[in-house]
């Protein structure tokens, strides 16, 4: 199972908000209570419906048919025809 | 003494210690432009240098004298010089000028392609990859170049040696796309379909802001390999796939999606008809060979289905049920499947009967225990690695800045055991 670079970044994006909650970045006690008084209600953040990549500014969708890296080398012989072997 | 002679003298004099090399590097960076202006007369000066001792200097001169257009005739000579340099150079020296080394290696690859001799480049390019890497976990921009040469020269086994490494560090996203795509093709060539699926899956689900041609081609092969190896395919991508992929990939791969739909009916005649209709499309994508493997895999699936219902069955009955032409063909399929471990069966050639057997694996042999144990060890290592990467990313200022901008200050869990109003 290689390529954890990609897998990790993807997994982390789906865990982003829960991880930030758990870390030591919670506001100071005094600040916490002060802000509480100002808040009318709290709303649980629903992250599951949000596309993580859109949050990171990667959600600009190319809706036309232009493909990136269209010039990549893919001119290989079709070597996967097993009927040649038998 | 003119500039070239002066450079050669400096290279010869300053290649023995790390301090000298550092000084040489500074000197060469300043002299680089002058070397390029003298490119036409540089080649003979390489004979005054030993690539295994004067690697850095050799690199600069080789780069300068080959930076212009190269004819096929010149390539015949240069290819040998490039290969000798790449295989004998010192890794510590060339890493000081890694961009230049990459340019030289890519130029070498272009030359073997010009000579239509990709095999000539395989060994040297593998050496280049290993020298450029800071560790086996580092994916360099030379990895895809190497795999491309392996595919062109059908050196699948040599390419697989690089694919066994776990990758945790990537220079450019495009390198990862190409590495996984070419690597997937290499695994298909070796019939390592599970690994091919993993690699192709990585291309398809990798982050991309706009739909990528490499991902489109990878998706086509991913569909075909899924059908061959698993007998099924689902169009839904995992949640972590980019929205560009989720929304656009299917549009570029319609004939393949329809092939998968036809496959799911289990009707070989229908599948054959569809393949004939879209043959041109598959051929133009160089995927017809794989599509034919999809076709023959359907016979296998249908035979496998029989093992769930019958204990014994005649070859004639197998041929009739699975729509093969004769009992002989059925026998060939069954034999191949037994050999590949896809079914457990015996064939009685006297009466033409096939007896389907249970999987004999009891999961209690020493080999199986070793296998399970090594898998557990690997999972534990990967888990540790994942935790470390998670911790590093959690502290990354760029990540925090972007994530922090989008989150609300508090969410429900922060108030779990705290009353709404609190008097201090």
In chain A, which residue's Cα lies nearest the Cα of B406?
A55
3-state secondary structure of B369: helix
Q: Which residues of B touch A82 (CB under 8 A)?
A: 289, 292-293, 296
In chain B, which residue's Cα lies nearest the Cα of A34?
B422
Please tell me which of the candidates A19, A36, A45 has its beta carbon nearest to residue B420: A36
Give the contacts of B115 (CB within 8 A, at least 6 positions apart). B72, B75, B76, B79
The answer to whether A22 faces chain B, any CB pair under 8 Å, is: no
Contact B152 A76 (CB under 8 A): yes
Task: Please name the residues between 282 and 341 in chain B that touch chain A, using a CB distance below 8 Å.
Answer: 283, 286-290, 292-293, 296
The answer to whether B140 faces chain A, any CB pair under 8 Å, is: no
Q: What is the mean pLDDT of residues A67-75?
A: 93
Residue A84 has pLDDT above 70, yes or no: no
Is B198 domain-assigned? Answer: no
How far apart CA B390 and CA B25 sit, in angstroms, is: 37
How many CB pairs below 8 Å do chains A and B form together? 181
Is B122 domain-assigned? Answer: yes
Residue A6 has pLDDT above 60, yes or no: no
Q: Which two tokens stand for residue B333?
A: 């399929």
How far apart CA B220 and CA B185 sit, in angstroms, is: 12
Give the pLDDT confidence score for residue B362 in this predicted structure: 85
Q: How far is A15 from chain B (nearest CA, A)?
A: 10
Q: How far is A18 from chain B (nearest CA, A)?
A: 10
Is B115 domain-assigned? Answer: yes
- Long-range CB contacts for residues B345-354, cutoff 8 Å, separation at least 24: B345/B307, B347/B315, B351/B314, B352/B314, B352/B315, B352/B316, B352/B327, B353/B312, B353/B313, B353/B314, B353/B315, B354/B312, B354/B313, B354/B314, B354/B315, B354/B318
Give the pLDDT confidence score for residue A42 in this predicted structure: 47
Q: How many domains does chain B have?
A: 2
* Final residue in a domain of this structure, among B101, B118, B133: B133
The answer to whether A33 faces chain B, any CB pair under 8 Å, is: yes
Please tell me which of the candidates B243, B287, B393 has its beta carbon nearest to residue A59: B243
Q: What does pTM read for this prediction?
A: 0.80
Distance from the first to the final alpha carbon of chain B: 84
Q: How far is B118 from chain A (nearest CA, A)?
A: 12
Task: Please name the residues between 392 and 411 in chain B that touch chain A, using a CB distance below 8 Å.
Answer: 393-394, 400, 402-404, 406-411
Please tell me which of the candidates A3, A13, A21 has its beta carbon nearest to residue B414: A21
Stretches in chain B below the pLDDT threshold 50: 424
Is B242 domain-assigned? Answer: no
Give the position of tokens 């599970």.
B194
Give the pLDDT confidence score for residue B138 in this predicted structure: 95
Q: What is the pLDDT of residues B363-404, one digit of tens each?
A: 889 999 999 999 999 999 999 999 999 999 899 998 888 888
* Final residue in a domain of this structure, among B356, B386, B416: B356
Contact B176 A3 (CB under 8 A): yes
* Residue B224: Cβ-neighbour burial (10 angstroms; 0-12, 13-18, 19+): buried
Contact A83 B292 (CB under 8 A): yes
Is B149 domain-assigned? Answer: no
How far apart CA B320 and CA B72 sit, in angstroms, is: 58
The answer to whether A14 faces chain B, any CB pair under 8 Å, is: yes
Q: What is the pLDDT of residues A9-68, one digit of tens each?
A: 444 444 444 444 444 444 444 443 344 444 444 444 444 444 444 444 444 444 446 799
Q: How far is A58 from chain B (nearest CA, A)?
A: 5
Please tell me which of the candidates A12, A36, A72 has its beta carbon nearest to residue B390: A12
- Show the domain range for B322: 310-356
- Spatial CA neighbour of B339 closest among A86, A1, A81: A86
* Final residue in a domain of this structure, among B81, B106, B133: B133
Is B245 domain-assigned? Answer: no
Q: Which residues of B touch A7 (CB under 8 A)?
A: 202
Q: Best residue in A1, A4, A6, A65 to probe B by mutation, most B CBs within 10 Å?
A: A6
The answer to whether A6 faces chain B, any CB pair under 8 Å, is: yes
CATH no. for residue B316?
Answer: 1.10.10.10
Is B86 domain-assigned? Answer: yes
How far apart CA B266 and CA B263 sit, in angstroms, is: 6
Q: A45, B407 in Cβ contact below 8 A?
A: yes
The answer to whether A82 faces chain B, any CB pair under 8 Å, is: yes
The answer to whether B189 faces chain A, any CB pair under 8 Å, is: yes
Q: B159, B183 in Cβ contact below 8 A?
A: yes
Is B297 domain-assigned? Answer: no
């Amino acid at each position: 199972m290689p390529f954890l670079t990609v897998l990790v970044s993807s997994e982390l994006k789906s865990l982003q908000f829960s991880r930030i909650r758990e870390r030591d970045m919670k506001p100071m006690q005094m600040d916490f209570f002060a802000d509480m008084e100002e808040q009318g209600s709290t709303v649980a953040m629903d992250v599951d419906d949000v596309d993580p990549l859109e949050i990171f500014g990667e959600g600009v969708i190319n809706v036309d048919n232009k493909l990136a890296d269209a010039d990549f080398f893919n001119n290989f012989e079709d070597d996967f025809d097993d009927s040649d072997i038998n | 003494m003119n500039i070239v002679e002066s450079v050669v003298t400096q290279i010869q004099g300053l290649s023995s210690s790390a301090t000298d090399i550092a000084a040489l590097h500074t000197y060469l960076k300043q002299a680089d432009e002058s070397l390029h202006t003298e490119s036409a007369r540089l080649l003979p000066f390489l004979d005054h240098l030993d690539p295994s001792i004067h690697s850095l200097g050799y690199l600069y001169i080789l780069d300068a004298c080959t930076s212009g257009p190269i004819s096929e005739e010149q390539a015949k000579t240069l290819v040998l010089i490039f290969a000798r340099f790449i295989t004998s150079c010192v890794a510590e020296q060339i890493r000081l000028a890694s961009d230049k080394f990459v340019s030289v290696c890519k130029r070498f690859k272009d030359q073997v392609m010009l000579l239509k001799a990709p095999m000539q480049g395989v060994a040297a390019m593998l050496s280049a990859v290993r020298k450029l890497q800071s560790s086996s976990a580092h994916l360099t921009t030379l990895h895809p170049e190497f795999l491309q040469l392996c595919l062109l020269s059908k050196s699948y086994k040599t390419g697989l040696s690089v694919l066994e490494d776990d990758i945790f560090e990537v220079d450019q996203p495009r390198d990862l796309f190409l590495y996984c795509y070419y690597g997937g093709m290499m695994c298909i060539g070796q019939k390592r379909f599970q690994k091919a699926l993993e690699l192709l899956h990585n291309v398809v689900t990798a982050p991309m802001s706009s739909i990528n041609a490499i991902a489109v081609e990878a998706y086509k092969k991913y569909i075909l390999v899924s059908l061959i190896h698993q007998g099924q395919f689902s169009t839904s991508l995992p949640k972590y796939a980019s929205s560009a992929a989720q929304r656009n990939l299917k549009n570029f791969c319609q004939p393949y999606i329809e092939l998968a739909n036809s496959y799911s009916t289990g009707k070989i005649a229908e599948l054959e008809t569809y393949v004939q209709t879209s043959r041109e499309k598959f051929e133009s994508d160089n995927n017809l060979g794989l599509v034919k493997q999809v076709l023959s895999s359907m016979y296998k699936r249908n035979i496998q289905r029989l093992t769930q219902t019958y204990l014994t069955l005649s070859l004639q009955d197998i041929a009739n049920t699975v729509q093969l032409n004769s009992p002989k063909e059925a026998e060939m399929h069954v034999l191949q499947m037994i050999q590949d471990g896809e079914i457990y069966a015996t064939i009685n050639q006297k009466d033409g009967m096939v007896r389907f057997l249970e999987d004999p694996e009891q999961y209690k042999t020493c080999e199986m225990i070793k296998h399970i144990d090594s898998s557990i060890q690997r999972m534990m290592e990967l888990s540790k690695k994942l935790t470390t990467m998670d911790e590093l990313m959690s502290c990354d200022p760029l990540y925090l800045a972007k994530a922090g901008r989008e989150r609300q200050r508090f969410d429900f869990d922060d108030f779990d055991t705290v009353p709404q109003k609190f008097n201090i």
